[in-house]
Chains A and B, each alone.
Chain A
Amino acid sequence: MTEGTLYGLCSAVLVGLGLFGLIMHPEPLRKILAFNLVGGGVFLLFGVVARKGAAAGLGGDPVPQALVITGLVVAFAATALAVALLARLFQETGRATLQADE
Chain B
Amino acid sequence: MPGSATAGGFLLVLAIVLPVAGAMLSLVLGGRYAERIALTVMPTGVVVAVAIGAIVWRTHNVLQYFVGKWDPPLGVAFRADGLSATMIVTAALLICGIGLFARAQFSLPRCVEERAPLVFWILLLTVWGALNAVFIGCDLFNLYVALELLTFAAVPLVSLDGRAETLTAALRYLLFALFGSILYLLGAVLLYGAYGTLDMVLLSGRIRAEPAAWAAISLMTSGLLAKAALYPLHLWLPPAHAGAPSPASAVLSGLVVKAPFFLVVRLWFDVMPRLPEHAVAQVLGGLGAAAIIFGSLVALRQVRLKLLIAYSTVAQIGYLFLMFPLAVKPEPGHPWSTAAWTGGVLQAISHAFAKAAMFMAAGLIAEALGHDRIAGLAGVGRVLPITVFAFALGGLSLMGLPPSGGFVAKAMLLTAAVAAGQWWWAVVVLTGGLLAGGYVFLVIARSLADAGEPLSLISTISPGRQVVVLVLALCAVLLGFVPLRPLELLQIGRPDMAIGGVR
Report if A and B touch in the complex (beta carbons < 8 A). yes
Report the nearest B residue to A78, measured CB to CB: B178
Q: Number of B residues whose C-beta is below 8 Å from A? A: 33
Instruction: Say yes or no: A85 contacts B178, CB within 8 Å.
Output: no
User: Contacting A42 at CB < 8 Å: which of B151, B156, B174, B182?
Assistant: B182
The answer to whether residues A89 and B174 also contact, given A49-B193, A71-B185 and a CB cut-off of 8 A, is no
Give residues of chain A (40-55) contacting chain B, Cβ–Cβ below 8 Å.
42, 45-46, 48-49, 52-53
A17 within 8 A of B: no
B214 neighbours in A (Cβ, 8 Å)? none
Instruction: Say yes or no: B186 contacts A85, CB within 8 Å.
Output: no
Instruction: Say yes or no: B152 contacts A81, CB within 8 Å.
Output: yes
A98 neighbours in B (Cβ, 8 Å)? 168, 171-172, 175
Give residues of chain B (52-104) contacting chain A, Cβ–Cβ below 8 Å.
74
B162 within 8 A of A: yes
User: Contacting B193 at CB < 8 Å: which of A28, A38, A52, A86?
Assistant: A52
Give residues of chain B (125-162) contacting chain A, Cβ–Cβ below 8 Å.
141, 144-145, 148, 151-152, 155-156, 159, 162
User: What 1/0 flags go to B341-363 for Cβ under 8 Å of A?
Assistant: 00000000000000000000000
Instruction: Say yes or no: B168 contacts A89, CB within 8 Å.
Output: yes
A77 neighbours in B (Cβ, 8 Å)? 148, 152
A31 to B152 Cα, complex, angstroms = 18
Instruction: Say yes or no: B170 contacts A46, CB within 8 Å.
Output: no
Q: In the assembled complex, how far is the CB of residue A53 from the closest CB belonging to chain B, in whole angstroms?
A: 7
Instruction: Say yes or no: A49 contacts B189, CB within 8 Å.
Output: yes
- On A, residues with C-beta under 8 Å from B are 15, 22, 28, 31-32, 35, 38-39, 42, 45-46, 48-49, 52-53, 63-64, 67, 70-71, 74, 77-78, 81-82, 85-86, 88-89, 92-93, 98, 100-101
- On B, residues with C-beta under 8 Å from A are 74, 141, 144-145, 148, 151-152, 155-156, 159, 162-165, 167-168, 170-172, 174-175, 178-179, 181-182, 185-186, 189-190, 192-193, 196, 239
